[in-house]
Chain A
Amino acid sequence: MAAPTQDLPPKGGYEAINFRRIPARTLFSGSQMFAGFSLMTAVAGYLYYRTYKKIRIEEIEMRSATLALEPLLLAERDRTFLKQLRQNRDEEEKLMAGVEGWEVGKHYGEPIYKTVPSDRFIDPIVQEYYAHGPTRSFTRHSLFSLWS
């Protein structure tokens, strides 16, 4: 058997333990950071100013084109809308033909709007407009901004 060896410290003793704080390396000081931020803001502001005018003109042009076409599309839509109102009325008449006390356009004989003259045009609510059609038409209308 070999001679037993002891676990002794190395020759010359252990090295000293480093318990000092190690702060982070500072790349920029505080005032350098403020200065850099101001410089970047100034450059970005200048570039923004240059493109802002261009973008504004383009937006106005797009809006002009939309407004120029609006009467045309609105007239077409009005005609379709009025045709559909007539079809709705005819459909309701057919549907409620056997119901006692039902007048077309009223709720069991009671008008919907009481304080306005009877020939005043008030837009029907969406559900009433699509009442006789498939549900998907109503869904597409009411969730238009989600579908498009």
Chain B
Amino acid sequence: MITKDFSLPTEEELTVQEINISTPALRAAAFHVGKQCEKQNNEFMLCREEEKDPRKCIAEGKAVTACSLDFFRKIKKSCLEEFTQYSNCLDKSSKDLGFRHCRNTQSIYDKCVLDNLEMERPEFGYFCRPKIVDTVRPKPAEDAPLEFPDAPEPLPEAPARPSRYGTRFHWMQ
């Protein structure tokens, strides 16, 4: 399927600085990263959903990674201590990084982010809601419906007549 003519992006195009952060830290920052990079994230997900082709969404993907990296740099400069404590708490308190065990550390971290980065944590169901994305990219064309020029003629319609034995249920008459 991936023939010589098939256009794949080059290695240089796909090499960017990646985020080198583990799962507990990502989950600790999840709400704020999602809010900060909401525009880029939504664009990327819409592109992925519509085009169904990862090759066409590389630029949007790079924007997502760059935005998240930018956010983590800001955290490192201002709130690193609180952030590491919160991610450590999430990591050590439960097997699936549940938020409910770490509310105290979360409030300290939230307050720090609010003071330094002027960002409020979105409410708990914010990212579960569907979003409407306003993009510049045009919608990709759908496939034309298949045509079958040598399909046979349809059968003639049977003449309408009342059923011989009535209906199964009395209310259907």
Contact = CB atoms under 8 A, between A and B. Distances in A.
Contacts of A74: 44-45, 48, 61
Interface in B34-88: 34-35, 37, 40-41, 44-45, 48, 52-55, 57-58, 60-62, 64-65, 68
Interface residues of A, number: 41
Interface in B123-142: 124-128
B89 interface: no
Interface stretch (A8-16, A23-31, A54-62, A139-147): A54-62
Contact of B6 (A66, A67, A119): A119
Interface residues of B, number: 50
A82 interface: yes
Contacts of A69: 26-27, 30, 33-34
Contacts of A101: none
Interface of B: 1-11, 14-16, 18-19, 26-27, 30-31, 33-35, 37, 40-41, 44-45, 48, 52-55, 57-58, 60-62, 64-65, 68, 96, 98-100, 124-128
Interface of A: 57-58, 60-72, 74-76, 78-79, 81-83, 85-86, 88-89, 93, 103-106, 111-113, 118-119, 121-122, 124, 128
